[in-house]
C-alpha cells in the first residue's frame, strides 16, 4: 500500500462542567508499517517515523521498529499478527518534535481481514496508553479509560470509539462518557492526498511544525478552561503494564443519537477559590 496523507480537521466539544468547543487543522499520515515512507534527504526533517515515539520497545534481540513494537504489544495479549499487515494513522516527527495525541492501527491477518484495532493515546507529559479494540467498522466500541490525558478529566468513565479504516475520507469519533452521557467528544476528519515531496512541502506552508503547534494549541485550551474555573484534577501515574479492557459494540444509530454535537491532555495549578 503506498503511503498517503490526510489534511485533517480535529474538533473537541466539552459538554461538562462547561460548554467549550475548539477545532484545530493539521495533517496525518496513513502508512503500512512494513513500508514506512522515507523522504529525500532534504525533506527528512519534515517527516521522520521513529519507533520510540510509540508503544514500548520489543523483546531483547528483536530489531526496534514500529512494526515490531506493535507485534510485541499484540503478543503480550495473546495475539499473533506477524503474517499480516498493519496500517496506521499517525503524525510524523517534524523538525525533530513528535506529538501524537492519538494514533490508530488497523491489524489485518494474512488474508487481509481486519482483526484488531489499536488506539494509542499520548498526553503532553509523554505518557502513552494503547487500547485494543475489536473491528467494529462504522459502529463504535467501548473501552474503559485508563490514561490521564487532561488536567480536567480523571481516569473514570469510558470511551466510545468509532474508527473505520480510512479510504478516500477519514472519519473518526472518540467520546468520553460518564454515567452514560458524553462529557467530551472529539472528531478527526479529513480527505486523502497523495503523499510525496510536493505534498510534504505544501503541508509545511499550511500547517507548519504541526506536532509542536498541536501541543501548543492543547495547552492554550487548557489555560482557557483553567481561566473559566473548571476544576483541575490531579494527574494519575501511568500503570506499569497495559491490559486489554472489556469491549463492546454500540449500534451506529444509538451512537449518533448521543453525539449530536461537533480532550485530551496536560498540568495546571489548582484554581484558588
Residue of 264, 273, 213 lying closest to 8 (CA atoms): 213
3: nearest Cα among 193, 207, 209, 204:
193
Average pLDDT along the chain, 273 residues, taken 10 residues at a time? 94 88 94 94 92 92 95 96 96 94 97 97 89 94 91 88 96 92 93 94 94 91 89 71 39 45 40 44
- The domain ranges of the chain are 4-257
pTM score: 0.85
Contact 111, 217 (CB under 8 A): no
Q: DSSP letter at 45? A: G
Q: Which three cell numbers stand for residue 38?
A: 522515507
Tens digits of residue pLDDT in 191-248: 999 999 999 999 999 999 999 999 998 889 889 988 998 888 887 766 543 333 333 4
Amino acid at each position: 500500500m503506498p503511503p498517503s496523507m490526510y489534511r485533517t480537521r480535529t474538533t473537541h466539544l466539552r459538554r461538562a462542567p462547561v460548554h467549550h468547543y475548539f477545532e484545530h487543522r493539521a495533517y496525518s499520515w496513513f502508512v503500512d508499517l512494513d513500508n514506512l515512507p522515507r523522504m529525500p534527504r532534504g525533506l527528512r526533517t519534515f517527516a521522520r517515523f521513529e519507533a520510540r515515539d510509540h508503544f514500548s520497545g520489543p523483546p531483547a534481540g528483536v530489531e526496534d521498529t514500529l512494526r515490531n513494537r506493535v507485534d510485541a504489544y499484540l503478543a503480550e495479549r495473546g495475539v499473533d499478527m506477524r503474517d499480516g499487515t498493519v496500517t496506521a494513522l499517525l503524525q510524523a516527527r517534524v523538525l525533530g518534535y513528535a506529538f501524537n495525541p492519538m494514533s490508530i492501527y488497523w491489524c489485518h491477518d494474512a488474508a487481509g481481514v481486519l482483526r484488531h484495532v489499536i488506539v494509542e493515546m499520548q498526553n503532553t507529559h509523554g505518557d502513552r496508553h494503547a487500547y485494543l479494540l475489536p473491528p467494529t467498522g462504522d459502529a463504535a466500541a467501548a473501552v474503559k479509560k485508563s490514561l490521564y490525558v487532561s488536567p480536567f478529566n480523571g481516569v473514570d468513565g469510558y470511551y466510545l470509539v468509532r474508527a473505520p479504516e480510512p479510504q478516500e475520507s477519514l472519519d473518526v469519533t472518540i467520546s468520553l462518557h460518564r454515567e452514560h452521557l458524553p462529557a467530551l467528544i472529539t472528531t478527526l476528519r479529513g480527505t486523502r492526498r497523495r503523499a510525496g515531496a510536493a505534498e510534504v512541502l505544501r503541508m509545511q506552508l499550511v500547517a507548519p511544525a504541526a506536532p509542536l503547534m498541536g501541543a501548543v494549541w492543547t495547552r492554550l485550551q487548557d489555560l482557557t478552561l483553567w481561566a473559566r474555573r473548571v476544576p483541575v484534577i490531579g494527574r494519575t501515574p501511568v500503570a506499569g503494564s497495559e491490559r486489554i479492557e472489556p469491549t463492546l459494540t454500540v449500534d451506529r444509530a444509538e451512537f449518533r443519537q448521543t453525539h449530536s454535537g461537533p480532550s485530551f491532555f496536560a498540568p495546571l495549578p489548582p484554581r484558588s477559590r
